Structure 1
Amino acid sequence: MRLFKKKRDIQGFITDLHDKKQEIGFVPTMGALHAGHISLVQAARQQSDFTVCSIFVNPTQFNDPRDLEKYPRTIEKDLQLLEQQGCDAVFYPDVAEVYPSGTTHPPHYELGQLEYILEGKYRPGHFQGVADVVSRLFYTVDPDHVFFGRKDLQQCKVIEQLIALNPDFNRIRMHTVPTLREADGLAMSSRNTRLSPGELQKAPAIYQTLNYLKAQLAPGDLTPLLDEARQRLISEGFRPDYISIAQTDTLEECMYWDGQTPVTALIAAFLGPVRLIDNMELYPGRG
């Protein structure tokens, strides 16, 4: 497995691969890798000739500096894990390499309503930071395929829009990989390492609440169902930011369901100091 820290080095290497008609699969991460990340690497290996993973804790997508400071960093373990899983190359730059002109005057990306709803509402500027760093990584790695986890569904929608709006990225194929879960249903996340043993026992309540929403979904006003879901989480010690049932295609909130529109439930809630997110498709539509 090759390790690159400089853009010019990996760009030269990737150019040679493209000249040999090799297709590049790319998995962007912020490190602290777990089995969910590895599922992305495995998908990349299946879909492409050469797999690249990036490890970069991006400062511009953290609206809370304390969250950035506490984000787990486990680079030695991450590199060992990636090598064991057959990853071909890792791009591990520092902040100055990704942002040579600094981070104070970032470009603006047209993300539409995705920037202001759900995660965008509670984390202002987050998706601008995501779009900026992913765009920079795309220009560096020049991938043919990219792989993101469905747990971050709204982020996946942002990346899809980023690819669609930039002609330089139009040949990139986006792959959304299903959420990987622990045996108790908790969605795998790097943030789970910050949960105490007691909090880890409570954390699956998010998954249980999503299953409750799926089981109880019925045409009509969804307000009572959402209120009950919120109370269930609060009773378990969570502080919800949002519990939403949204149209799957647009993530626009759906307060009245017609029984036909594909919908997905999305939850973001604090358990102690840790903010957890998850989602589940409630109704996929007919055919």
Structure 2
Amino acid sequence: MQRYAFFAETAVETLAITTFNAIMFIIKQSKDLARYLQKQRSVKKTIGFIPTMGALHQGHLSLTKKAGEENGVVVCSIFVNPTQFNDLTDFELYPKTLESDILLLEKQGCDLLFLPDVAEIYPSGISPATAYELGYLESVLEGKYRPGHFQGVCQVMHRLMEIVRPDRLYLGQKDYQQCLVIGKLLELIQSPAEIIICPTLREPGGLAMSSRNLRLSAREKQNAQGIYEALSYISRNIKPGEVKGIAERAGALLIQKELTADYLTIARAEDLRIIDVWDGQTKAIALIAAFMGKVRLIDNMII
């Protein structure tokens, strides 16, 4: 790509893009990011932050748009974090689309892209220095099926929050359990940042937008819509009383679409305590993790 100009404030790899009549800085080192953001804070600008692992889609861009509406500066990061993958193959196959990611962020009006390497995020190595006390949240659903995953999420988010120090942190509802985990992390590290959870964006058939969708064939993507169909079935038909039966019927919809579920669960939205009997009043959420072929997809729907 021949669209970069060096931003001459430092000698490190700090870039500025000027296409589309806008400027988006690309910064690779935390010290330069801190210097830039301190200047913004000095003129009373608030910082909105969207952490990502790249392979961006309209769901990510909706977070960027929301952050731009509510803050003076929008920072997005792209970093594929090795410590949150308990499957090495999944890490190696994670989609990488940096050039298109840069274009999308620029068009959306992102002010700054933080693009660190592993050494920048983990200068002392990737071995965790802290064990985060996440309690029940780490024992169920994603915590159960992906041991160590949320410790890795907390490890990278702790570091990113120290570097960016945002006023507001923008996350997508698709990763609902992760949103709750990050909320717990902010309590543990006493961060004043406000978490904004934005709605899941979906493709025309209802499939939640996800970077992993890039690994699906056309047929697999069609079948993967069964996840949304199962969630919608629960939302339409759930009634006060035992919920085991409706979960089983929704699970049958997954099987019909060749999806293999890790879990299909109804839980309290507040804390993800599993619900066996619903009182009809408690805010609940249906959550699914299922494999389409070798690709693991997650989704949820508030009831």
**Superposition pairs of residues 178-189 of structure 1, within 5 angstroms:** 178-189=199-210
2:245 matched to 1:224?
Answer: yes
TM-score normalised per structure 2: 0.91
Aligned partner of 1:215 in structure 2 is 236
State the partner residue of 1:263. 284
- Whether 1:155 and 2:178 are equivalent positions in the alignment is yes
| C-alpha separation in 2, matches of 1:237 and 1:140 | 43
Alpha-carbon offset, residue 165 of structure 1: 2.4
Q: Segments of 4+ in structure 1 off by > 4 A?
A: none
Comparing 117-126 with 158-167, greater Cα deviation is found at 158-167
Residue aligning to 1:195: 216
Structure 2: distance between partners of 1:14 and 1:232: 49
Distance in 1, matches of 2:189 and 2:28, equals 26
Q: Which residue of 1 aligns with 2:113?
A: 90
Give, in angstroms, the shift of residue 104 of structure 1: 2.1
Q: CA deviation at 1:148?
A: 0.3
- Tell me how far apart the structure 2 counterparts of residues 121 and 106 of structure 1 sit (CA, whole Å): 22
Higher relative contact order (CA 8 A, sep 6+): 1
Residue identity over aligned pairs, in percent, reads 51
Q: Please state whether the residue corresponding to 1:192 is helix, strand or coil.
A: helix
Shift of 1:16: 1.6
Give the match's secondary structure for 1:127.
Answer: helix
Residue type at the aligned position of 2:149: H
Q: Does residue 1:238 correspond to 2:238, yes or no?
A: no
Match of 1:7 in 2: 30
Give CA-to-partner distance per residue, 1:189-211, whole Å, 9 cap, x none. 00000001110111111101101
Would you say how many aligned residue pairs link Structure 1 and Structure 2? 280
1:144 to 167, 175, 179: 167
Identify the residue that residue 285 of structure 1 maps to in structure 2: none
Which range moves more in the overlay, 205-214 or 105-114? Answer: 105-114
Q: Distance in 1 between matches of 2:165 and 2:38?
A: 9
2: CA distance between counterparts of 1:275 and 1:165?
Answer: 30
Could you list the runs of 5+ residues in structure 1 that have no partner in the other structure? 283-287
Partners in 1 of 2:59 and 2:294 — Cα distance? Answer: 22
Residue 235 (structure 1) shift: 2.0
Aligned to 2:91: 68
Any idea what SS the aligned residue of 2:197 has? strand
Q: Distance in 2 between matches of 1:259 and 1:177?
A: 25
Aligned to 2:42: 19
Letter paired with 1:149: G
- Give per-residue Cα distances to partners, 1:149-204, cap 9 Å, x unaligned: 0000001101111112222x1x2111000000011111000000000111011111
Query: Structure 2 residue aligned with 1:250, among 249, 271, 280?
Result: 271
Write out per-residue CA displacement over residues 94-139 of structure 1, whole angstroms, 9 at most, x where no aligned residue: 0011001111233111111111111100000111111110110011
Specify the code of the residue in structure 2 equivalent to 1:261. T
Instruction: Letter of the 2:255 partner, please give it.
Output: I
Amino acid at match of 2:111: D
Local SS of the residue matching 1:135: helix
